[in-house]
Chain A
Amino acid sequence: MILELRGVHRTHGTGETAVHALRGVDLAVAAGELVAVMGPSGSGKSTLLNLAGGLDSPTRGEVVVEGETLGRLNRRELARLRRRHVGYVFQDLNLLASLTAAENVALPLELDGMAVRKARRLAAAALDEVGLGDLGPRFPDEMSGGQQQRVAIARALVGDRRLVLADEPTGALDSQTGEAVLRLLRARVDAGAAGVLVTHEARHAAWADRVVFLRDGVVVDSSGPLDEPEHLLGAPA
């Protein structure tokens, strides 16, 4: 398992005003598996993603990434694990406007102490992977929304990230461009990463192997595909 949440609770605040964002969630995501998390606003979707990525810690229970229990790591170790193993794609892209596409993608590797030349080489490969091989020298404001989103994905996938976390990664993109983003995510997972996709759109969640429904901080159901989708096409009349 690349990601495991075991009996995870997350409560914001205390006493009368406490908000129970998650109330005992178990979730395991293996290599090669994409799990979508769906649920209404306030169901705990984003909290779950933040916990999985070590951006937040559980009130109770544990989060394990690549065999490391996050609660047992000190801040430096946690930051290192995040930089090396976890890729994030957020709705607001967080691209740095003063850096080119290639520099944005290489940034997490350089922060991790990787030699600039090597980081740039890996960044170029990641940009190739998302079909932007030629646009490395461009600045974000010289690119379309769809291209910027792909740069953000390249940054999430760069190097050897085995856990990809995406929060509404298709944002305000039109349906064709959004689908291209999901195909990229799917391809990376098929190549061996583990992915968690938070979305409120069923059509996007459908790219996952498993769809988990959250309601009021609890997993209420999950759905996986059957083996042979051809049965949907109907038997000969």
Chain B
Amino acid sequence: MSIRHGLLALLERGPMYGYQLRAAFEESTGATWPLNIGQVYTTLSRLERDGLVRPLPENDGGQRPYELTDLGHAEIAVWFATPISRTDRPRDELAIKLALALTTPGVDVRAVVQTQRTATMRTLQELTRLKSRSDKPADLSWRLILDAMVFQAEAEVRWLDHCEASLVRHRPDPAPASAPAPTHEDAPTEAHR
């Protein structure tokens, strides 16, 4: 998701000026995504350039609200109607790290798994603690964002459990004849320590 779509979605509620947009953005993301006001203004001027918003006259306080154009309304409707593509997300550094750990000599893969699981579990505990502090109905969007983070962390712990179980069962294939003979400390040996 981009700040761009976030601001367009907020303007769908009605015209707003910069500070209002920033406050509304943080409120609806439960402060999980803090914005500075500079980012808001830069984004607004790009949206204006692209014809998605237009500025309204300044109010008495000297603030200039923006409203969506027809193009802006259409853009946000498309955004809500389109699923997020997995390929738009950053690569999973942890999965790559574990894959590399398996094939790097001298790395104790089970220790890598255990260290990560403890850290992820701690994150999960902290998220749960944040969640347990809020149960007012007004906090729903905040709690749903926390829940998203909770489920992601949980999925990571489950995947790490799965990795650990797979490592226990793992028996490396004999090295192919063309490959150099494994030396004293090759990675698959590490894997079932």
Q: How far is the CA of A224 from the CA of B121 in the complex (A)?
A: 9
CA distance A221 to B115 in the complex (A): 9
Choose among A205, A220, A225 the residue that contacts B129 (Cβ–Cβ < 8 A).
A225
The A interface is mostly helix, strand or loop, or mixed, namely: mixed
Is A223 a contact of B125 with CB atoms below 8 Å?
yes
Q: How far is the CB of B4 from chain A (nearest CB, A)?
A: 15
* Contact A235/B117 with A202-B124, A206-B127 known, Cβ cut-off 8 Å: no
Could you tell me if A203 and B33 are in contact, using CB atoms closer than 8 angstroms? Answer: no
Most buried by A among B30, B33, B130, B132: B132
- Give min CB distance, A51 to chain B, whole Å: 24
* Interchain CB contact (< 8 A) of B125 among A183, A211, A237: A211
Interface size on B, residues (CB 8 A): 34
Given A183-B132, A220-B114, A221-B114: A203 touches B150 (CB 8 Å cut-off): yes
User: Which of A4-12, A129-137, A159-167, A226-234 is near enough to bind chain B?
Assistant: A226-234
Given the complex of chains A and B, what is the CA–CA distance between A234 and B35 in angstroms?
11
Q: Is A208 an interface residue (CB 8 A)?
A: yes
Residues facing B in A164-186 (CB within 8 A) are: 183, 186
A90 at the interface (CB under 8 A from B): no
Chain B residues contacting A208 (CB-CB under 8 Å) are 125
Which A185-205 residues have C-beta < 8 A from chain B?
186, 201-203, 205
Q: Is the interface of B mostly helix, strand, loop or mixed?
A: helix
- A40 in the interface, Cβ–Cβ < 8 Å? yes
Q: Are A206 and B128 in contact (CB under 8 A)?
A: yes
B130–A232 touching, CB < 8 Å: yes
Interface flag for B45 (CB, 8 Å): no
In the complex, which of the residues A183, A186, A229, A236 has the most CB atoms of chain B within 10 Å of its own CB atom? A229
Shortest distance between the CB of B72 and any CB in chain A (Å): 24
Task: Say yes or no for A207: interface residue by CB 8 A criterion.
Answer: yes
Interface bits B25-58 vs A (CB < 8 Å: 1, else 0): 0000011111110010000000000000000000
**How near does chain A come to B33, taking the closest CB pair, in angstroms?**
7
Interface residues of A in 90-143 (CB under 8 A from B): none
26 A-B contact pairs sorted by A residue (CB < 8 Å): A40-B161, A202-B121, A202-B124, A202-B157, A206-B125, A206-B153, A206-B154, A209-B125, A211-B121, A213-B117, A213-B118, A220-B114, A221-B118, A223-B122, A223-B125, A225-B122, A225-B129, A226-B122, A226-B126, A229-B130, A232-B130, A232-B149, A233-B30, A233-B31, A235-B34, A236-B34
